[in-house]
Amino acid sequence: MLKGSCHCGGLSWTLEGDPGSATACNCTLCRRYGVLWAYDYEGERIRVAGPSASYQRADAPNPALEICFCPTCGCVQCWRGLHKDAQGRRRIAVNLRLAPPEAVAAIALDHFDGLETFDDLPRDGRCVRDIWF
């Protein structure tokens, strides 16, 4: 099980099982936050805890997600989908940068072009340690 927490310890998350890969996105939010995402569904393999504040893009006519962060120290904990899928599940991604470095260093890294094409980019063989350390 992977675990992460904000700097002050007020927010935390857990992810059970293999996260698969981490995603680095270059959209206008993710590149500013410097986050690495691991995905699943809220209340399934991913659980979040603690009081959070949230942000939704003001320029999106129908926002699809919110960014949750610690109201005390400001660390980004996760993004959470605002709409449930047909099975009633809500997509969520936790910020792997809140986990201990040694716990996530070997996780494969994927890149997503959220700025221009909205395409997954070809995997280049790097892992989290290659961009983090």
Instruction: Please list the residues that pair with 37 across neighbouring strands.
Output: 23, 95
CA distance 80 to 133: 27
Tokens at residue 49, please? 């805890």
- pLDDT attached to residue 113: 87
Output phi, psi for 38, to 5 deg.
-125, 135
Tokens at residue 38, please? 């691991």
Q: What is the pLDDT along the chain (133 residues), one digit of tens a residue?
A: 999 999 999 999 999 999 999 999 999 899 999 999 999 999 999 999 999 999 998 776 678 899 999 999 999 999 999 999 999 999 999 999 999 999 999 999 999 988 898 888 889 999 999 987 6
CA distance 93 to 22: 10
| Structural domains of the chain in order of their starting residue, each with its CATH number | 2-132 (2.170.150.70)
- pLDDT attached to residue 66: 95
Tokens at residue 12, please? 């935390």
Tokens at residue 132, please? 């983090």
Collect all residues with Cβ–Cβ distance below 8 Å to 74 and sequence separation of at least 6.
none
